[in-house]
Amino acid sequence: MVVRGEVYAWDGTKATGSALYESGPRTISYHNTAFRREKFPAAISATPGAQYVLFASIDKDYEQRTNGYELAWASEDDSAYAKGTFVYQNNAGDEGQRTTSAWQVYGIDLAIKAVLTH
């Protein structure tokens, strides 16, 4: 599948504004179900106290998909990281919905590593 790592500001229910970061397209293809690490090195200016949503997306490359996609994420209950939660939007490739429609909240935390520096 072709994915892009992205970062947006978050208003509590949906992404807001323009992308603060978008990686180039990356093709990911594995032939087994083992978990893999994917890195999306981003440098953005963040505002202390502001909320952000970090995600991997197939939206901009949606028409290139073949044979459907299935993903699995390493997850924990929502208490693993008290300042965030897993949100999701299945918009069938309509990236405009990111900032106009509420995302679903799943009540879990995903395995993610974000390195913040100042």
The pLDDT tens digits along the chain (118 residues) read 788 889 999 999 999 999 999 999 988 877 777 777 788 887 888 898 999 999 888 777 676 666 666 667 778 888 888 888 989 888 887 888 999 999 999 889 888 777 766 6
Supply the pTM of this predicted model. 0.83
Torsion region of 29: left, alpha or beta (phi above 0 gives left; psi -120 to 50 gives alpha): beta
- Report the distance separating Cα 65 and Cα 109, nearest Å: 27
Q: What are the residue boundaries of the structural domains of the chain, listed by start? A: 2-110
Helices (H), 1-118: none
User: Could you give the C-alpha distances from 22 to 3, 42, 52, 66, 96, in angstroms and in order?
Assistant: 10, 8, 13, 23, 15
Instruction: Count CB atoms within 10 A of the CB of residue 110.
Output: 17
